Chain A
Amino acid sequence: MCGIVGLFLKDKALEPQLGALLSSMLITMTDRGPDSAGIAIYGNDNGKTAKITLQSAKPAKDFAGLEAELQSALGAPVAIEVKSTHAVVTLAKDKLDEGRAALATLRPDARVMSSGDAIEIYKEIGLPKDVVSRFAVSGMSGTHGIGHTRMATESAVTTLGAHPFSTGSDQCLVHNGSLSNHNNLRRELKRQGMTFETENDSEVAAAYLTAEMAKGKDLGAALTSAVDDLDGFFTFVVGTKSGFGVLRDPIACKPAVMAETDQYVAFGSEYRALVNLPGIETARIWEPEPATVYFWDHEKAA
């Protein structure tokens, strides 16, 4: 059992409240997943800089002096904001790949949680309320975000085993369920050049979607092929830089509720997670159909 929440804003006026709304939704889902929690927040792309979210088991050691070291390695300005065990590295878009390579050399023990134009990912073991408070998620603004509370079944309770998983630029996935063909798929994806941080089944689903989108599919088409290629139980909520998607397996035993108003599209494992959203009383509320792809995209809507 796990809990999932997601919020895709249509009304820009709500953007400053994204972190607060998502935090409240996530904490409501604590009893579905008290062992770890994570959140992906998509901020506005300013057109100039990109972001890398790093995580370290020894943040005091790994993040000390990193800004200056990375700056001199790249010969370009870099800003680093440390938040507990995570640090967000902001650098010019054209320095993103070079920056990731430099970080791997400078701090081999720090892990990249996410990278891209808009995404930041924070995840840790512990109760959702503690996780959101240590990263000050309530104060964050953004266009869309996804959160997960984990009750581990398929792999260990570790920071890296927590969701969301990000396997491509500005992409992330959270999962409630268990996949049965993940070992085979992981082997196949490794052959295609994907790399994996964990033995977690959900990371395979994330990497699968990344690989499909790298072949030119949009998020909706990648999710459509996932119905055929992934075996097991799943409710997925996925994010891209401008998109937000939901998919349930054909058996659909993992719960899901969605709500839509003129201001937002929201996802919750249970209706309880949605009750504090503005205008929920008059929202269109439905249970997503099995094996049916739902996705919204800011760019396509515009």
Chain B
Amino acid sequence: MPVFDLSTTPLRDLNSALHGLPAGANDTVFEVINPRGHHAVAVGIDAPVTVEIKGSVGYYCAGMNDGGNVTVHGSAGPGVAENMMSGSVVIEGDASQYAGATGRGGLLVIKGNAASRCGISMKGIDIVVHGNIGHMSAFMGQSGHLVVLGDAGDALGDSLYEAKLFVRGSVKSLGADCIEKELRPEHIEKLSELLELAGISDVRPEEFKRYGSARKLYNFNIDNADAY
């Protein structure tokens, strides 16, 4: 198992090794020690590798991940798993702002809290947060699921498209065009699946409320012409 000590090894060596794995390689478990808040740790993975990061990371960890399984045994700075395509990213601690931003696929699990703008402009990613999320989360979310076991901050789902939001705790306020919607059987089924994937067994899907788009902002309304 390759071990990269970022206190002695340049970050580029780690990322190059992750990018340079030949097809069919079977030594695909990487360990990263002493990340010490480094930026861009394990970005651009495009193979089914496993990366265990022992400590806290800075900006953009596991960005653009396509098929890798990355675990941060610590907290993550802004933009963790930004634009993830597939695979999974697990944060054992907290995540800073815009976690999972613009993500197109894969699963992001945050075991602590996420700060503001979690899942902003999400486009297919599934995000499960064990704790709370900050303001403006899922802003302009287009598809995918955001599951929050705790509370959500101000302006949840502002200008939302078709991302589906599930919050178990309180929502401080809903953003423009975001409304509470009925939790139907297909949603309960999806929630059960996501909770299981995120390793959560003591929470029932029925405990959540669903929020989605009122679809009032999709098209220009001629009655609003005076406002422009």
Q: Which residues of A contact B (CB under 8 A)?
A: 250, 252-253, 255, 257, 270-275, 285-287, 289-290
A104 to chain B, nearest CB (A): 44
A272 touches B94 (CB 8 A): no
Given contact pairs A252-B116, A290-B134, A272 touches B96 in the complex (Cβ within 8 A): no
B121 on the A face (CB < 8 A) = no
Q: In the complex, which of the residues B36, B75, B115, B135 contacts A272, with contact meaning CB atoms closer than 8 Å? A: B36
Cα A272 to Cα B75 in complex, Å, equals: 12
B78 touches A255 (CB 8 A): yes
Given contact pairs A271-B56, A290-B134, A255 touches B116 in the complex (Cβ within 8 A): no
Within 8 A of A (CB), among B131-155: 134-135
Q: In the complex, which of the residues B36, B56, B58, B116 contacts A290, with contact meaning CB atoms closer than 8 Å? A: B116
A270 touches B36 (CB 8 A): no
A135 to chain B, nearest CB (A): 26
Residue pairs across A and B with Cβ atoms less than 8 A apart, 6 shown, are A270-B58, A271-B56, A271-B58, A274-B37, A275-B37, A290-B116
Task: Select from chain A the residue with minimum beta-carbon distance to B75.
Answer: A285
B37 touches A271 (CB 8 A): yes
Given contact pairs A272-B36, A275-B36, A287 touches B58 in the complex (Cβ within 8 A): no
A272 touches B58 (CB 8 A): yes
For residue A274, which residues in chain B have a CB less than 8 angstroms away from its CB?
37
B187 on the A face (CB < 8 A) = no
B133 to chain A, nearest CB (A): 12
Per-residue interface assignment for chain B, residues 165 to 186, with 1 indicating a CB less than 8 Å from any chain A CB and 0 otherwise: 0000000000000000000000
A243 to chain B, nearest CB (A): 26
B77 on the A face (CB < 8 A) = yes
Given contact pairs A275-B37, A287-B115, A290-B116, A270 touches B94 in the complex (Cβ within 8 A): no
B97 touches A252 (CB 8 A): yes
B38 on the A face (CB < 8 A) = yes
B36 touches A253 (CB 8 A): no
Per-residue interface assignment for chain B, residues 74 to 105, with 1 indicating a CB less than 8 Å from any chain A CB and 0 otherwise: 01011000000000000000101100000000
Q: Which 6 pairs between the two chains have the least Cβ-Cβ distance?
A: A272-B37, A271-B37, A275-B36, A287-B115, A271-B56, A270-B58
